[in-house]
């Protein structure tokens, strides 16, 4: 869990958030579209346009009249039969709510018409410049509002010849099977409460609040937060509210239930929330409960999955790992293609990422991690690492998104509902969930579109590799050496798309525990 706003919620139509100064560009002349609205389009930055939309007075009057007529036929007031209440009484009783609902519909319809009639291709949700909530419908008056949209920028497409791709020959070893069995033992292990002396991988549950330096009021609070004590391979690093914290193991050393742990850190410049980028913040985590998982035995795992014995379990795990290996092999080839394509194209991007852009970049990366079958806690760790990466890495990921959108169009790549459902089913199987459960979760969080984009990008990349790339096999050892060399030299300017763990810039963190008196009240 983190305090990032969901995609589309960062600039809600009702917030009226202040916009950045407009770029000095020339606006297109105002013109009346087939919908009858006037639309003026102005460039306000790289891959960004501002739409000024005016709905004429007669259209406003017509819509208000139609909404009132519908309300009158569907509403019964005391003393009147349905549809017989006086118009003036209906306006007095429901006028304000009716105008609000009608206004929202007019704005939505006018925006959709402007996009369609001007053949625009927006990326993500529109970002209102006008505070929509303050707009008031008045009879006989036109309605004007402004929104900013991000669009796919114009750029010269890269040449697709002379692309060299290494195909790693990945083998499933006994050690990999052993690790997966250990993971399964932990997954179905027995949970127990611990009050102190927390160990690696213990989960701490509690409330949290985050405050900017120099401010008293927190900008984020939540009653159900989770921190996992860093494991032995994490080198002491862990994530708190989606931020990577160095030395978290030392910060938590000696802590116990009832303590409040303050952590001070600096938010990365690429964070989804613009209002805290580069700011020093203090996160206070109040420990309410500690949970430790005692791994189940191998025999218990065998019994849980209905296997005859451990040998059968190992065979089934090997089959599952082989399937995952095939995914990883294809993904490794795609990542190489992505890196090469980024080198071959250059176009202007915004100086800083908007909240929507940053959030979408993170969501796409999360979908890739889900596709690779990573455990939820590892996904959170990778996302925290991604937030800590440089602005250049984030901008490369945005560049890749625009590039793949254009390539998919050129290659006539289509994605159907069956393919999306298939991808969801595959991810659900890796997570041990039902497909419909995962689909509902993705739909509710607004991430279902990212699944379709992922399928589109994978199909596009696979087609380019098949038609244009020179592919050569490479052993697993050679592949690992290449990855190690890459991680040791690329630093913050590395690949835009790889999921490999990268070195991240260390952020200064400080902590001082506060001890609360334990309550005598029983749970």
Q: Could you tell me if residue 88 is inside a domain?
A: yes
Query: What is the Cα–Cα distance from 435 to 441, expressed in whole angstroms?
Result: 10
Using an 8 Å Cβ cutoff, are 427 and 438 in contact?
yes
Q: Residue 271's closest CA among 215, 351, 354, 346?
A: 354
What one-character DSSP code corresponds to residue 2? Answer: -
320 and 290, same domain (yes or no): no
Per-residue pLDDT, 364: 86
334 and 457, same domain (yes or no): yes
Per-residue pLDDT, 31: 58
Q: Could you tell me if residue 4 is inside a domain?
A: no
- CATH number, domain with residue 142: 3.30.70.1050
Q: How many CB atoms lie within 10 A of CB 358?
A: 27
Q: Where are the alpha helices (DSSP H) in 136-246?
A: 174-187
User: 123 CB contacts (<8 Å, ≥6 apart)?
Assistant: 47, 149, 150, 151, 152, 360, 401, 402, 405
Q: Residue 93's closest CA among 63, 71, 113, 73?
A: 71
Query: What is the Cα–Cα distance from 476 to 168, expressed in whole angstroms?
Result: 6
73 and 111, same domain (yes or no): yes
Q: Residue 435's closest CA among 446, 450, 420?
A: 420
- CATH number, domain with residue 475: 1.10.3120
3-state secondary structure 265-313: EECCCCCCCHHHCCCEEEEEEEEEEEEEEECCCHHHHHHHCCCCCHHHH
Q: Could you tell me if residue 21 is inside a domain?
A: no
- CATH number, domain with residue 218: 3.10.50.40
Using an 8 Å Cβ cutoff, are 423 and 455 in contact?
yes
Query: What is the Cα–Cα distance from 164 to 336, expressed in whole angstroms?
Result: 9
3-state secondary structure 231-242: CHHHCCCEEECC
Q: Could you tell me if residue 256 is inside a domain?
A: yes
Query: What is the Cα–Cα distance from 130 to 146, expressed in whole angstroms?
Result: 5
Per-residue pLDDT, 491: 41
What one-character DSSP code corresponds to residue 501? Answer: -
Per-residue pLDDT, 515: 45
Query: What is the Cα–Cα distance from 405 to 152, expressed in whole angstroms?
Result: 8
368 and 482, same domain (yes or no): yes
CA distances from 214 to 35, 261, 285, 300 (A): 51, 19, 19, 53
Per-residue pLDDT, 429: 83
Q: Residue 123's closest CA among 27, 181, 46?
A: 46
Q: Could you tell me if residue 520 is inside a domain?
A: no
Q: Could you tell me if residue 408 is inside a domain?
A: yes
Per-residue pLDDT, 83: 63
- Sign of the C-alpha dihedral computed for residues 9, 12, 18 and 21 taken in this order: positive
CA distances from 300 to 31, 189, 306 (A): 71, 9, 10
256 and 290, same domain (yes or no): yes
Using an 8 Å Cβ cutoff, are 117 and 39 in contact?
yes
User: 77 CB contacts (<8 Å, ≥6 apart)?
Assistant: 85, 89, 90, 93
Helix, strand, coil shares of the chain, percent, nearest 5, are: 45, 20, 35
360 and 399, same domain (yes or no): yes
Domain holding 347, by residue range, is 163-181+312-493
The SS3 of residue 363 is helix
289 and 358, same domain (yes or no): no
353 and 452, same domain (yes or no): yes
User: 477 CB contacts (<8 Å, ≥6 apart)?
Assistant: none
**Cα 368 to the chain's mean position, in Å?**
11
Q: Could you tell me if residue 523 is inside a domain?
A: no
Q: Residue 330's closest CA among 464, 495, 488?
A: 464
457 and 319, same domain (yes or no): yes
Task: Please give the chain's pLDDT, 523 residues, in tens.
Answer: 444 433 333 333 222 223 333 333 344 445 556 678 999 999 988 888 999 999 999 999 898 888 877 777 767 677 676 766 666 776 776 767 878 888 999 999 999 999 999 989 887 778 899 998 898 888 899 999 999 998 878 889 999 989 999 999 988 999 999 999 998 999 899 999 999 999 999 999 999 999 999 999 999 999 999 999 998 888 889 999 999 999 999 999 999 999 999 999 999 988 888 899 999 999 999 999 999 999 999 999 999 989 999 999 999 999 989 988 898 899 999 999 999 999 999 888 776 667 777 888 888 888 888 888 787 888 888 888 888 877 788 888 889 998 999 999 999 999 999 999 999 998 888 777 899 999 999 988 878 889 999 999 999 999 999 999 999 999 988 988 888 777 664 443 334 344 444 444 444 455 544 444 444 344 4
Q: Could you tell me if residue 10 is inside a domain?
A: no
346 and 488, same domain (yes or no): yes
Query: What is the Cα–Cα distance from 258 to 207, expressed in whole angstroms?
Result: 11
Q: How many domains does the chain have?
A: 3
User: 45 CB contacts (<8 Å, ≥6 apart)?
Assistant: 20, 23, 350
What one-character DSSP code corresponds to residue 151? Answer: B
231 and 86, same domain (yes or no): no
Residue 319, H or E segment: helix 310-344
Using an 8 Å Cβ cutoff, are 8 and 355 in contact?
no
Residue 226, H or E segment: strand 220-228
Per-residue pLDDT, 384: 87
336 and 290, same domain (yes or no): no
Tokens representing 424 are 């969801």
């Amino acid at each position: 869990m983190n305090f990032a706003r969901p995609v589309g919620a960062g600039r809600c139509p009702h917030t009226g958030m202040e916009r950045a100064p407009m770029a000095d560009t020339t606006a297109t002349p105002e013109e009346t579209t087939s919908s009858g609205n006037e639309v003026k389009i102005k460039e306000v930055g790289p891959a960004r346009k501002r739409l000024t939309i005016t709905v004429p007075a007669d259209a406003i009057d017509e819509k208000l009249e139609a909404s009132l007529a519908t309300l009158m036929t569907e509403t019964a007031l005391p003393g009147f039969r349905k549809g017989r209440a006086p118009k003036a009484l209906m306006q007095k009783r429901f006028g304000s709510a009716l105008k609000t609902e009608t206004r929202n519909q007019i704005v939505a319809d006018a925006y959709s018409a402007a996009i369609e009639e001007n053949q625009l291709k927006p990326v993500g949700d529109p970002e209102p410049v006008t505070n929509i909530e303050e707009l008031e419908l008045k009879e006989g008056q036109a309605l004007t509002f402004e929104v900013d949209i991000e669009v796919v920028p114009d750029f010269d497409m890269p040449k697709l010849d002379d692309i060299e791709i290494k195909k790693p020959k990945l083998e499933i070893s006994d050690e990999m099977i052993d690790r997966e069995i250990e993971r399964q033992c932990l997954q179905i292990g027995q949970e127990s409460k611990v009050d102190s002396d927390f160990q690696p991988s213990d989960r701490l549950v509690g409330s949290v609040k985050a405050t900017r330096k120099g401010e008293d009021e927190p900008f984020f609070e939540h009653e159900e937060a989770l921190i996992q004590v860093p494991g032995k391979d994490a080198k002491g690093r862990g994530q708190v509210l989606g931020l990577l914290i160095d030395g978290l193991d030392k910060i938590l050393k000696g802590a116990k239930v009832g303590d409040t742990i303050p952590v001070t850190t600096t938010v990365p410049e690429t964070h989804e929330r613009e209002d805290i980028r580069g700011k020093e913040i203090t996160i206070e985590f109040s420990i309410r409960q500690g949970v430790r998982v005692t791994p189940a035995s191998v025999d218990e795992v065998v019994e849980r999955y209905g296997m005859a014995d451990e040998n059968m379990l190992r065979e089934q795990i090997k089959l599952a790992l082989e399937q995952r290996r095939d995914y990883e092999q294809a993904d490794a080839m795609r990542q190489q293609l992505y890196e090469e394509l980024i080198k071959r194209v250059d176009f202007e991007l915004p100086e800083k990422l908007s909240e929507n852009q940053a959030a979408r970049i993170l969501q796409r990366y999360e979908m890739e991690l889900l596709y690779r079958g990573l455990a939820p806690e590892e996904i959170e760790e990778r996302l925290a690492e991604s937030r800590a990466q440089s602005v250049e890495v984030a901008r490369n990921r945005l560049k890749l998104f625009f590039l793949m959108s254009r390539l998919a169009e050129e290659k006539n790549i289509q994605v159907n509902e069956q393919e999306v459902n298939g991808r969801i089913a595959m991810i659900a199987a890796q997570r041990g969930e039902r497909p419909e459960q995962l689909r509902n979760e993705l739909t509710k969080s607004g991430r279902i579109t990212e699944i379709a984009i992922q399928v589109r990008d994978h199909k596009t990349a696979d087609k380019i590799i098949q038609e244009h790339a020179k592919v050569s096999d490479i052993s697993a050892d050679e592949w690992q050496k290449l990855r190690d060399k890459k991680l040791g030299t690329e630093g913050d300017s590395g690949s835009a798309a790889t999921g490999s763990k990268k070195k991240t810039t260390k952020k200064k963190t400080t902590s001082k525990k506060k001890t609360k008196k334990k309550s005598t009240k029983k749970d």
